[in-house]
Structure 1
């Protein structure tokens, strides 16, 4: 007769770090908590995983209940398991991150959970102190996209479908937190041959209207085997 193994309980949570970009400003999605501990504090959207659901399923559910956003591609970032990271006991957190266009999404923040007072896009450059170890989780995710942006075209996930080269450079500077040489940046981006120049220019601007471009994903996919070192040595 097979020996019955003792059951054990595991407590997991999911935290989501969602980046957006608007008017030259890199932002992260925060919630204002409506429960203890850390009631009234800003935090990342996150909560406990139900016993009968998978981790990815929980991430999608929690993000929707806490912010109203859905159909967001979430990529697993890191597992946080320090012993004293939660005042109520041992809690292991799986963090996810995503980058999304704010066009048409900014006003879609409608939390349905009683645990959340409101959700808000907050500038990364002026982040408040966050609940639990969420500041650490945020920093880990920011380091991740800073590394990834140097070899992957993830920046285009934050831009509108059509954009100017200035908007593209502003995004890279916001993520990397440093100024880039305009001439070198544009030359490098155009030399990769993954930008499609459109027959459109800015309208209603007081300065010289700039051309619009579009990310050519098909071209990028055809040459994905090449090492495209975006803004490297810039």
Structure 2
């Protein structure tokens, strides 16, 4: 058998792209950065970058998240910190023509975080901002067309973003992932507004309260209350130990 010759194969690179979602002003928003270098210079894109030779994929995704946004990532098993984000692998994208520089395969990751201040730009990103996903995708949660932003996202990031949004919308039906959008202690009303923002619906407050407090392991009372939403003191909860919800929180038809 002839020896392995690396030059016999065309070179290609591996990148990580990040779909970072949060709920701001009752709207599901994604983090986008304005590219400072070619290709697609000055276009908005998802944060991300090339995987270093000594990195595994999850480490590269966590590094890019911190470098370009200032956010810290944690594993699904670890508790959410005040400046933390849930991070999981989303999908792999390898169309030969997705990057004009060379053959680039991207392993996209989905990050979910509580409402955070304006992110800081870094790396090759000149600016970073939170933008409503309906504006970026030109599509509501119910599938209705809206006016997208003036210019589509760079590369195939519009497709990646759409896949990440749908992953988040479907996972909060059967998992406790919606609590990743909340601070460590939250009210049922704040959790309901997360569901409403991610799904793009209006939910009945009493019915929602009955469902989430009656789902075993979903929420744990902290014993405290808050008036930060105005009105009477509301009971505070934290995420319980359940990762799968039984029964699930089914998404209403829109």
Name the TM tier (shorter chain): 0.7 to 0.9
Distance apart, 1:203 and its partner CA: 4.8
- Residues of 2 paired with 1:19 and 1:203: CA distance? 23
Q: Does residue 164 in structure 1 map to residue 163 in structure 2?
A: no
Of 195, 198, 210, the residue aligned with 2:219 is 195
Q: For residues 52 and 178 of structure 1, do their structure 2 counterparts lie closer, same or farther at Cα, with a shift above 3 Å needed? A: same
CA RMSD, Structure 1 to Structure 2 (Å):
2.3
Q: TM-score, normalised by structure 2?
A: 0.78
- Residues of 1 paired with 2:192 and 2:225: CA distance? 19
Of 85, 101, 108, the residue aligned with 1:95 is 108
Of 125, 140, 150, the residue aligned with 1:116 is 125
1:230 match: 249
Q: Is contact 2:220–2:240 with CA below 8 Å preserved after alignment?
A: no
Which deviates the most, 46-55 or 153-162? 46-55
Q: Is contact 1:17–1:141 with CA below 8 Å preserved after alignment?
A: yes
Task: List per-residue Cα deviations over 1:3-22 (Å, max 9, x = no partner).
Answer: 41111433111101111123
Task: List per-residue Cα deviations over 1:104-126 (Å, max 9, x = no partner).
Answer: x425x33342x110221222232
5+ residue gaps, structure 1, are: none
Distance apart, 1:210 and its partner CA: 4.6
1:133 match: 156
5+ residue gaps, structure 2, are: 76-86, 137-148
Q: TM-score, normalised by structure 1?
A: 0.84
Give the 3-state SS of the residue equivalent to 1:11 in structure 2. Answer: strand
Q: For residues 213 and 195 of structure 1, do their structure 2 counterparts lie closer, same or farther at Cα, with a shift above 3 Å needed? A: farther
Q: Does residue 50 in structure 1 map to residue 63 in structure 2?
A: no
Q: Is contact 1:16–1:96 with CA below 8 Å preserved after alignment?
A: yes
How many residues are matched?
Answer: 223
Distance apart, 1:72 and its partner CA: 4.2
Q: Is contact 1:201–1:210 with CA below 8 Å preserved after alignment?
A: yes
Give the 3-state SS of the residue equivalent to 1:150 in structure 2. Answer: helix
- Residues of 1 paired with 2:158 and 2:5: CA distance? 37
Distance apart, 1:232 and its partner CA: 5.1
Distance apart, 1:85 and its partner CA: 1.4
Give the 3-state SS of the residue equivalent to 2:173 in structure 1. Answer: coil
Task: List per-residue Cα deviations over 1:109-154 (Å, max 9, x = no partner).
Answer: 33342x1102212222322321111010000011111111100010
Task: List per-residue Cα deviations over 1:168-213 (Å, max 9, x = no partner).
Answer: 11110111112223332222112114333434131583xx325133
